[in-house]
Amino acid sequence: MTCVGRRDASGDRGEVLDDVPGASSRPISIGRNGTLITGRATNGQDASVLIFAEGPMVAAVRFNGAAGDPVPLDLVTDYGKQQDANILAALGA
């Protein structure tokens, strides 16, 4: 798992989609503009990438699983909600 938080991540969605050809994305109720991208990464692993914003911050969390064994959606969702709460606390919201 990789987690990145920064103030300018405008290119994250494009970079993620380049690494996961044929990926699909859908909205997810985490943070502001939460998006979940899933597919098979160029390294052969299943990948799930959660991207969301809070205030001036953008978070991108990538989960990798063995081919054919993606990370469960409930784990991605729970972890994303925890990270969102941590960001809100750090921003003093």
Question: Beta strands 2-6 and 57-65: pairing type?
Answer: antiparallel
Whole-structure pTM value:
0.80
- Give percent helix, percent strand, percent coil of the chain, each to the nearest 5: 30, 40, 30
Per-residue pLDDT of 20-32, as tens digits, reads 777 888 999 999 9
* Residue 49, number of CB atoms within 10 A of its CB: 26
Edge-to-edge strand order for the sheet containing 24-27?
2-6, 57-65, 46-54, 32-40, 24-27
Mean pLDDT (whole number) for 58-83: 92
Return all residues near 82 (Cβ < 8 A) that are at least 6 apart.
none
